[in-house]
Chain A
Amino acid sequence: MRRQNHVFAKGKVAHMRILKMQSKFLDVFLESLSKFGNLYGPTHKNGLLSYNRLENISDLVITDEHPMIPIKKLFHPMQFTMMNFDEKGFTPDYSKIEKRVIIGVHPCEIHSLLILDDIFMREPMDPYYAQLRQNSAIIGFSCLPTENSLCYSTDTDIVEEGFDLFFVNLDEYFLVWVGSSLGHDMIYEREEFFDMDVSHDDIQKYVKWRQKKNKMFKKSFEFDSMPDIMELSYDSEIWEEFAKICLSCGQCSMVCPTCNCYTVTDVFDVTNETRGRRDRFWDSCMFVDYSLVAGGHNFRASRANRLKLWYGHKLKTFGKDYGRPGCVGCGRCVDSCPVDINVLTISEALITKEVPKK
């Protein structure tokens, strides 16, 4: 099933153009994109990859590794002031919204944005997410699988939509997919870098690259059968077993590209009880107060129920509500959980009924 995409629907071209660019032109071309907005992309920050504003194109790090915190941080900011209020009403704070060109976005990240679009851009639309999204160009880049990549299992290793330009690295040159009219404008600006004739040899090389890539995946899981298995395992004792070791640290939610929950808090001005601001920040269903409601009832006080909800969203329930489960196979939960609770160990345990030993 193809998802309807509100952002790119307008700019989508009927037949996607594919061009060729010699690798030596890459930096100059990417630098030229600053005409379309402030450049963002993965950079090294304290020894880790992190999406940030690029001061210089040389700060950009294009690699097969993903930044630890996914691209959602550029559209669904970790913490920000939503609005200021006083006795007369409120004024939304849209000061973070600017024209941006985000470079170096891997296929799983693009898939995660398409899922977040389904959540934040259906009515009632989230104005912060929508404006950040509408003002950002996505320059995708291919990657090869790393240690914990699972995108082959989740069918998110290739993108057909959700980008303005997409670069596939074939060593001495790139094949460049043009995904929107904005992408076309970007190419048009520096036409001299692009070769319009993609030869049969180029296609052969691309096919070989796909085959090589497909063989590189070290890990896989039964993503397609997980919705059924999750349904059958609702009362499984496996959840209790994982609950014994889960630290409820919430890291899985922060690093998952499709976790999108947030909470808000009102901070009152010290001088005036009717004045203040509303702050919003990322939340996680792994935290105990997430399902706490007025009157003190907690729908998911137990760790087992919290885990079941989280994995339900990643492996099952999103399918019913949004067309597919939430996991995009980036492998971040595998990289990040200090007690090895992740889509691999959960799906394996639900199938074998055994919690994998470390």
Chain B
Amino acid sequence: MTEISNTKLAVAKPKVGIYGFTGCAGDQLLIIHTEDEILNLFNSVDIRSFVMASSNPIEEELDVAFVEGSISTEEEREHILKIRKRAKILVAIGNCAVSGGPQAMFTGDNTFEKRMNKVYGNVNFLTAPLEAKPIDAFVEVDYYLPGCPISAPQAFALISRLIHGAIPESYPHPVCHECKLNENRCLLLDKIACFGPLTMGGCGSACPNHGLPCVGCWGPNDDGNFEHHLELLESFGKTREEILRLIRGYGGHKILKYIEKGGK
């Protein structure tokens, strides 16, 4: 780095917070594990809060807050409301924050109390449990960085644009785009129930690269042909209930919404 840019950054280092709610913490871990970029990031921004990397968080005003995980307790709900108030820009990172994650599999089916009781019985919780929901069920989200886990190239493309005040670019392409660039044979040709065409790309077609069908973890590709894709999967011998269950398995509530609406 040149002397000039050092001075410039010292003047206007954006304040960033990285937070984790209910989830596996894999997205924060991915940020830490990007050895090529993590020191550059720590040099370029003022990390105020990142509990996974430092135990001395400073909870003040933020330029950008990155939030991982779903909201599943009353304490988390209060915390996300506070973060929203302090942050100019809030980014939901990872499947749990964006779509609710696997823990939101049955969210909204009116059996929460019953399921809670079956698993935990009659216990006193430190904080009241809530049915797991994505961040945008509670506060406004400015940008979504989906994934399970998020992709490092996508994450750093977004981070560098946000900290330099540039407009982030969306990537509204299905998983099939990267899947073909990875020279995979289309699983649909072999009548395997793949959700690639319905799902937002960015993962580098991680599952089809190993011969496994896409499960939709990146959330809906809003240009997907939801109606016909379901008919196609039904023609492979799957019932509609089985297909919807598969989608729900990865917290695909946002995909289900498109299916209910019959597309856009």
A residues lining the B interface (CB < 8 Å): 45-48, 50, 68-69, 78-79, 244-251, 254-255, 265, 267-273, 276, 281-282, 284, 287-289, 303, 336, 338-339
Residue B188, interface by CB 8 Å: yes
CB-CB under 8 A for A247 and B183, given A269-B160, A271-B9: no
Task: Tell me, in angstroms, the Cα distance from A239 to B225 when the chains sit together.
Answer: 15
Q: Cβ of B9 and Cβ of A338 under 8 Å apart?
A: no
Residues from chain B with a CB closer than 8 A to the CB of A250 are 173-174, 176-177, 180
Task: Decide yes or no whether B257 CB sits under 8 A from chain A.
Answer: no
Interface string of B31-44 (1 = CB under 8 A from A): 00000010011011
CB contact between A248 and one of B5, B159, B197 (< 8 Å): that residue:
B197
Please tell me if B115 contacts chain A, counting CB pairs below 8 Å: no
Q: CB distance A271 to B172 under 8 Å?
A: no
Given contacts A267-B157, A287-B172, contact A247 B197 (CB under 8 A): yes
**Nearest Cβ distance between residue B69 and chain A, in whole angstroms?**
24
Judge whether A249 and B160 touch: CB under 8 Å.
no
Are B172 and A288 in contact, with the CB atoms below 8 A? yes
Report yes or no: A272 in contact with B5, Cβ–Cβ below 8 A. yes
Q: In the bound complex, do residue A246 and residue B180 qualify as a contact, i.e. CB atoms below 8 Å apart?
A: no
7 A-B pairs in the complex with CB atoms less than 8 angstroms apart: A48-B183, A247-B228, A250-B176, A271-B5, A273-B165, A284-B177, A289-B173
Q: Interface residues of B toward A: which range?
A: 35 or more
Q: A270-B159, A271-B5 are in contact. List 16 more A-B contacts (CB 8 A).
A: A46-B184, A48-B184, A247-B174, A247-B229, A248-B224, A249-B176, A249-B196, A250-B177, A267-B153, A268-B157, A271-B40, A273-B166, A276-B160, A287-B173, A289-B173, A338-B188
Q: Residues of B contacting A78 with CB < 8 Å?
A: 181
In this complex, what residue of A is CB-closest to B38? A270
CB < 8 Å: which of B169, B173, B232 contacts A338? B232
Chain A residues within 8 Å of B166, by CB = 268, 273
Asked if B185 lies at the interface with its beta carbon under 8 angstroms from chain A, I say yes
- Distance in angstroms from B230 CB to nearest chain A CB is 11
A249 touches B174 (CB 8 A): yes
Structural contact, B197 and A249, CB atoms closer than 8 A? yes
Q: Are A336 and B181 in contact (CB under 8 A)?
A: no
Q: A270 is contacted by which of B163, B181, B196 (Cβ under 8 Å)? A: B163
Interface pair B177/A267, CB less than 8 Å apart: no
Residues of B within 8 A of A276 (CB): 160
Partner of B186, one of A47, A248, A251: A251
- Most chain A CB within 10 A, of B173, B181, B224, is at B173
Contact call B232/A339, Cβ cutoff below 8 A: yes
Q: Mark B179-196, 1 if CB is under 8 A from A, else 0.
A: 011011110110000001
A244 to B43 CA separation, bound complex (whole angstroms): 51
Chain A residues with Cβ below 8 Å from B222 are: 288
B244 to chain A, nearest CB (A): 18
Contact A267 B160 (CB under 8 A): yes
A96 to B186, CA, bound (A): 28
Residues in B whose Cβ lies below 8 Å from that of A289: 170, 172-173
